[in-house]
Amino acid sequence: MKILYTPIFEPGEHHAVAVAQKRGLYNALVKAGHQVFEYDYLDRPDWQSELQLLALLYKPDLLLTQFHGADSATINMMRTLRDQYPSMKAINWSGDSHRHSLLGDAMVELSHHFDWLLVPTLDVLPDLKAAGINAGYWNIAYEEPVVPLPDAPEYDVVFLGNVFNEQRLALVEMLRGLPYRVGIYGDWAQADGYCVYDFAMQRALYQKAQIAVADNYRPDGLNYVSDRPMQIMASAGALCLHQRVEMMVELTGWVAGKHYVEWQTLDDLRAAIDYWMADEHCVTFCKMVESARRYTRYFHSFDARVERLFMEFVRSMETVEL
């Protein structure tokens, strides 16, 4: 298929790193045999008109977008595109997990102009479907580094993530107070660096660490998993300690005690770190890390995501057309 793909590359000082290293979905689409035109739309004042022109010139079979929000201009653009190119299929993949965003009036209206809205959380699917939207669960995958790994520091415990609420702040402050070598990377004043889109640095840090921490920053939004544990487990270095997610098996297939260690409170996490830092648990530790690596690299690669994208979602549009 000819695919016009509009990924999210957030503008700002880290834009160039994201463009260079956030290549997983694009590479998987090309590897599967598709012709892909990638358009970096964020922070472009006239991007709606440019996207319409690209559609005119490229004549895609599939428009694959990453729109996390909607406004009147975006809705009008999609209405025009669907009217002008009725044979073109359209899928919007929103990585947003917040109910108020996905179920907002503007986003619901925009989603009606797509054949599918794909989201990374199960919680909103009944509401989206009740609104008449074809919605499905389709999550992000781990990013394979496309540049050589840097020489990263070696830590006992690492956490990679930004501090955007009180729960996350409490987490990083607790980690910083542990009697181990702790590395924290993100937009925190006491952080050791920033590597949100530097997947090569992430891989290097996770491979050298003993333990990597992942949280569920929305404990009331139970059925969502970010790419953080995927990056950890695919790295085959650190043991992943992940905060409880109620439907983890349904979302990912990962089993606590086999692929990762589950924690609920910060006291649980502190105790788990002490336990797994002990040498006597080395054999079980290594088995869990290897089991997580094999499972994650098979089931949570972008190759696997693209296969499901076409087998389940794109094929359903072709069936309806027939």
**Each residue of 199-222: pLDDT tens digit?**
999 999 999 999 999 998 765 556
**Residues of the chain with confidence (pLDDT) below 70:** 218-222, 319-322
H or E, element range at 254: none
**Model confidence over 234-274: pLDDT tens digits?**
999 999 999 999 999 999 999 999 999 999 999 999 999 99
Burial of 132 (0-12, 13-18, 19+ CB in 10 A): exposed
Examine the domain organization and report whether 200 and 256 are in the same domain: yes
Residue 3 has a CB neighbour count (10 Å cut-off) of 21
Point out which residues pair with 135 in neighbouring strands: 117
Q: Which amino acid is at 204?
A: A
Does residue 52 belong to any structural domain of this protein?
yes
User: The tokens of 34 are what?
Assistant: 């598709």
Which residue range forms the structural domain that includes residue 38?
2-141+302-321
150 within a domain of the structure (yes/no): no
Centroid of chain to Cα 242: 16
194 in a domain, yes or no? Answer: yes
Q: What is the pLDDT of residue 95?
A: 84
Beta pairing partners, 296: none
Could you give the number of structural domains in the chain?
Answer: 2
128 and 189 in a common domain = no
Beta bridge partners of 242: 214, 262
Are 316 and 231 within one domain?
Answer: no
CATH code at position 38: 3.40.50.2000
Query: Does any domain span residue 120?
Result: yes
Assess whether 288 and 311 both reside in one domain: no
Residue 186 placed within a domain = yes
* Nearest CA among 92, 143, 148 for reference residue 120: 92
